[in-house]
Amino acid sequence: MQAILIEISTPGGWVAGFIGAVCLTLATYGLGVLPINWFGIIFLIIAFVLFILDIKAPTHGALTAAGVASFIVGGLVLFNSPGTPEFQRVSVPLVVGTGIFFGLIFLQYWCLLCKPCGMRFKREVRVWLGKQEQLEVSKRDGASAS
Handedness of CA 120, 123, 125, 131 (dihedral sign): positive
Buried b (16+ CB within 10 A) or exposed e, 89-107: eeeeeebeeebeebbeebe
Contact 70, 102 (CB under 8 A): no
pTM value > 0.75? no
In this prediction, the residues of the chain whose per-residue pLDDT falls under 70 are 1-2, 113-146
- Per-residue pLDDT tens digits for 57-76: 777 778 888 999 999 999 98
pLDDT at 22: 87
pLDDT at 121: 47
